[in-house]
Structure 1
């Protein structure tokens, strides 16, 4: 959903868009290991990480709505560390992009629109003959185009 939001607003520079794809998609710098409920919230842009300038590799967790952090039992801050200096930490640029997408999506209402469209898609198994599902098809095609 991050790329969909950013591309819709024309915010992704071409070099940044290609960066985590291709051979780098499975790189450790593009990976986080998360509990399934935390992953779902992160992937749907409900939670995000803001860098803490005075703490190296430290991030403040943000959420829409904020109570999600409590419901998921998450701390207000995290610091990424590695027991092996040869293993890289998550790329801060990717986390910043994710945070920006989350903020834009929720403050603009785009996230609600995309979530509603995806929920509607789950309930509709066949397009109607009378054309009443045309708007849903149009929305899904627009989201998929990104």
Structure 2
């Protein structure tokens, strides 16, 4: 493949989006592993009776969903971004966090007989997670785009 200025522009244009998606995915897997398998291990144990018996075989789906969410977060940030400020990133992160809290956490509380305290903890950790995503993506975009 011949490197042209046009190819270099395309790479430069998409590099922040792709790298942010991958870095956020890696962070999300580590964060969620730490939160759910260590911090909330006891609280999450109440859900063991409703887990799929073949959950380990379906773990690839969770990884794919994590990549999809990170990519959607990164893509929406690329469209949301005007100045690249941390304040702008904070609002984007809050918007995305509230969306995920409603769609995931509150929806699961409504569907399953799980303690509200657990859902509240998921919500707080999820909010922190998306705020960190915002810091990550702002750093990447500031480094690679004006």
Q: As a proportion of its length, which structure holds more strand?
A: 1
TM-score by length of 2: 0.28
